[in-house]
Structure 1
Amino acid sequence: DADGIRIDFPEGWVHVRKSNTEPIVRIYSEGTSTEEAERLVSMVEKVLQTAGS
């Protein structure tokens, strides 16, 4: 059973998974800087919001 999905980018990675205890999706990230990690999260959030529309 997979625990979400990890997406690798040249500048970092993002891991997206559903919470087992809350009705939410969790997004974890790592980047070459804090700003880059936040940018990756923002990008994935926009994709998820578009997919959910």
Structure 2
Amino acid sequence: INDIDGVKIDFADKWVHLRKSNTEPIIRVYSEASTMEAAEEIGQKIMDVINELAKK
């Protein structure tokens, strides 16, 4: 986990980077993996966790 300019979480074959927008009241989620489907899946999982935490 790297927390420079947001939070980047590295996995064995993919990563996801979260950072707050400086221009909008949102959290930006970037992800990369070997396939588009894998990148979208890890990005969605992280967004689901964020949404659950926001409800508390």
Which residue pairs with 1:49 in the alignment? Answer: 51
Structure 1 segment 1-53 matched on structure 2, within 5 A: 2-53=4-55
Count of residue pairs the alignment pairs up: 52
- For the residues of structure 2 that align with 1:51 and 1:9, how far apart are their CA atoms? 21
The runs of 5 or more residues in structure 2 that have no matched partner are none
Higher relative contact order (CA 8 A, sep 6+): 1
- For the residues of structure 2 that align with 1:12 and 1:44, how far apart are their CA atoms? 13
RMSD of the TM alignment (CA)? 0.8
Share of identical aligned residues, percent? Answer: 46
Question: What is the TM-score when the length of structure 2 is the normalising length?
Answer: 0.87
Question: What is the TM-score when the length of structure 1 is the normalising length?
Answer: 0.92
